[in-house]
Amino acid sequence: MKKKTMMKAAGFLAAVALLASAMPATDPISKESGATVVNTTTLAKEVRGFRGATPVKIYIKKGKVVKVEALKNQETPQYFSRAKAVLAQYEGKAANKAAKMKVDGVTGATYSSRALVKNVQAGLKYYEAHR
């Protein structure tokens, strides 16, 4: 009887471990190729462009923004490609200063570019608070 109970418990724990490993990571900060990466998918899900969320990944090395990459979104491709120009303005800047930068939206892609800026600001603010 005792062996049967232990087998059930072991099976249950194995199932829990399997489910936990299948769930996506929710921590917005990770490490990738020596850089700290902040993913704003869960951080700034309320930030909307013209057609929805516009998450980004921010790559930071030695306290400086190395790259900002737009992630999958539902924005109109021809306008979003123009809006992504705002992301390059953060590259090479110290993360704490980049978080406070005033970046103008791109004419013709105002909603998308403003949403990208808000995502970067949210990601850098989170980075500063949790590094």
The three-class DSSP label of residue 64 is strand
Note whether residue 11 is domain-resident: no
What pLDDT, in 10s, does the model give residues 25-70? Answer: 579 999 999 999 999 999 999 999 999 999 999 999 999 999 999 9
The stretches of 28-103 forming alpha helices (DSSP H) are 77-83, 95-98
> Which uninterrupted H or E stretch holds 118?
helix 110-130
Closest by Cα among 90, 70, 93, 97 to 82: 70
CATH number of the domain that 126 lies in? 3.90.1010
- Give the count of domains, the chain: 1
The pTM of the full predicted model, rounded to 2 decimals, is 0.79
Residues 6+ apart with CB under 8 A from 50: 75, 76, 79, 111, 112
Note whether residue 12 is domain-resident: no
